[in-house]
Amino acid sequence: MELYQIQIANHLCIYTWALAYAAMIYRGFKDHSYGMPIIALTLNLSWEVIFSLIIPPHGSADATLVPYGGTKAQIVFALWAALDLVILYTYFRYGYKYFARSYAITRGQWIGFTLVMLVFSFLIMLTGARFFIQFETYFNHDQIESAKLIAFAQNALMSVSFVAMFYARGGSMEGQSFTIAWAKWIGSSVTTGLIYILGRPGEWYFVGTFIAMIFVADLYYMVITYRALRRQGINPWCRL
């Protein structure tokens, strides 16, 4: 793969995910809702905190592709984490009504459940990162190679959980938009996913199953959100 192709894909990933986060925040406050399923949010936030602060990307192979690559990646991960913290705020401010309606739990139980998910998500990401880094044959003791595998597995779960959230809300578009759908589709499987597959001929099959799952689930989420908005008489392309 040419360096410029990798750089284009990485930039698209950064900007489209930033757009998706911004749209989730906007729709969260606008609709008095939250835009990311909590299991995806806790895992996502944990990944960003760990790989920006605890196991930073300095010294990884990817960090050497551009000047100050490690510092730039660290800043991006930290900015993503900051955006996810705002989404987490909208979850705590507006999210209880969904759990009370679906599971008939008290606010205390809901908060306790969320805190437990945050703790275990953090532990899964931290121990998983250190576990995969130790392997030389595939990961070359590289923290970002470990981070990629974890990110694709986590994103596969995230993509499916967005579809589940849509149906759990009865097809309501509260906290959701077509912008979020297409932005995260481009930011995951279409950019970094494709680069991963093309850059590992003969070695991509395992991770490729996660990438394919992300691609299909995100594409499906785009279709159902687009149709839901059209049924409401809203232009999907004009709704952030």
Q: Quick: pLDDT tens for 177-211.
A: 999 999 999 999 999 999 999 988 888 999 999 99
Mean local confidence (pLDDT), 6-35: 95
Least confident piece of the model among 17-26, 70-79, 92-101: 70-79
Rounded alpha-carbon distances, angstroms, from residue 69 to 54, 72, 191:
17, 5, 18
pLDDT for 1 equals 63
**Residue 47 clears pLDDT 90, i.e. is over it:** yes
Q: Residue type at 192?
A: T
CA 166 to chain centre: 16
Mean local confidence (pLDDT), 46-61: 90
**Residue 95 clears pLDDT 80, i.e. is over it:** yes
For residue 213 the two structure tokens come to 């799952």
Q: Residue type at 212?
A: A
Q: Residue type at 53?
A: L
For residue 45 the two structure tokens come to 């936030």
- Reported as a single tens digit per residue, the pLDDT across 99-133 is 999 999 999 999 999 999 999 999 999 999 989 88
Task: Kindly list the domain boundaries of the chain, sorted by start residue.
Answer: 3-238
**Residue 134 clears pLDDT 90, i.e. is over it:** no
SS3 assignment, position 120 = helix
CA distance 6 to 199: 9
For residue 65 the two structure tokens come to 């592709």
pLDDT for 66 equals 73
For residue 187 the two structure tokens come to 């930011």
Phi, then psi, of 128 in degrees rounded to 5: -65, -45
CA distance 228 to 234: 9
pLDDT for 98 equals 97
**Residue 29 clears pLDDT 80, i.e. is over it:** yes
* Average confidence score pLDDT of the chain: 93
In this structure, how many other beta carbons lie within 10 angstroms of the beta carbon of residue 233?
6
**Residue 64 clears pLDDT 80, i.e. is over it:** no
* E strand residue ranges, the chain: none
pTM for the structure as a whole? 0.94
pLDDT for 200 equals 86
Q: Where are the alpha helices (DSSP H) in 95-204?
A: 96-103, 107-133, 143-168, 178-185, 194-199
Q: Name the DSSP class of 52.
A: I
